[in-house]
Amino acid sequence: MRPEYLAVNKLSKQYGNNLVVKEVDLVIRRGEAIGLLGANGAGKSTLIKSILGLVHSSQGSVEINASSSYLPEQPQMPISLSALSLLKFKCKTNRLPPSSAQQALDDVQLSKQVRNQAMREYSKGMRQRTSLALALCGEPQLIILDEPMSGLDALGRAEILQLLQQRKSAGTAFLMSSHIVSDMVQLCDRVLIMASGRVCETVELHDHSLEEAKDLEVRLAQWSHRHE
């Protein structure tokens, strides 16, 4: 059996009287991609932040047995620095060779000229690519992505999806939250549909086809409607 990279056990998060994540169980193994699908406020981002330790869970446990990285929904970066400086910083803190920074920026196709400019001059798409490069730098075993395609155009999304698929084939595990069902279907093996903080249904994806995407959208609509 492939090694477990992430094990989430009965994870709950409560703000005051409001239970925003309810007893979520989740296991991700090497080379596996799990999608979190849900309407706004379903608890996806809180679940991800609880897994990362950014938010303290009220109950349950999280065990990460792999090198991990995170791509936030709205990446906020030090805009006075260049993308290359930022990635080199990650290389220093994680004791990675400096060439990893250039490699990750090559992977997300951020041009050599742009990567040396201060990030205040970047477009939203460039910032998203930088943030993705930061998540991919050093080839972590587990990558947690919160809306990774936001800010990217259709071509950019296709390029990034291809890159993620390559990494997945090489054994990287993914936990990905997204509104865009078609992107999720292309990458993920299993999708957890969330509503009101609870995992309502787990859908196994087999052929990553358009039909599966349509079916997933219908199920999402049903669950969201039920929890309104």
Partner 1 sequence: MSKSLSLLLFSMKEISNQRIYQTLLAILIIIPWLLLIPTSLFMMDLGKVFMDMLFTFLHLWLLIYIFFLAAPLLARDIEMGTCNMFLTLPMSRAEYLWGRYAGVVATILPILLAYLISAVLAFEFAERTWPGYVLSGSGVQFTYGVLLILLPYLALTAVLFFIASTATGLSETTVFLFSVWLLCWSIPPVLGAMQEQNVAAKNPPWIESILQFINQLLPDISSSQISLHLAHHIPLENMAVIAYCIEHLAYSSLIMIVAVLLFQRRDLG
Summarize as ranges the residues that interact with partner 1 (CB under 8 A): 49, 52-56, 68-70, 72, 74-78, 80-81, 85, 89-90, 92-94, 118, 131, 134
First to last CA, the chain: 39
Q: How far is the CB of 54 from partner 1 (least distance, A)?
A: 4
Cβ at position 216, least distance to partner 1 in Å: 28
Of the two residues 24 and 213, which places its CB atom closer to partner 1 in the complex? 24
Q: Smallest distance from the beta carbon of 80 to partner 1, in angstroms?
A: 4
Q: Is the Cβ of residue 22 or residue 49 nearer to partner 1 in the bound state?
A: 49
Per the CB < 8 A criterion, the answer to whether 157 and 147 are in contact is: no
Nearer to partner 1 by C-beta: 131 or 224?
131
CB of 4 or CB of 73, closer to partner 1: 73
- Residue 90: CB minimum distance to partner 1, A: 6
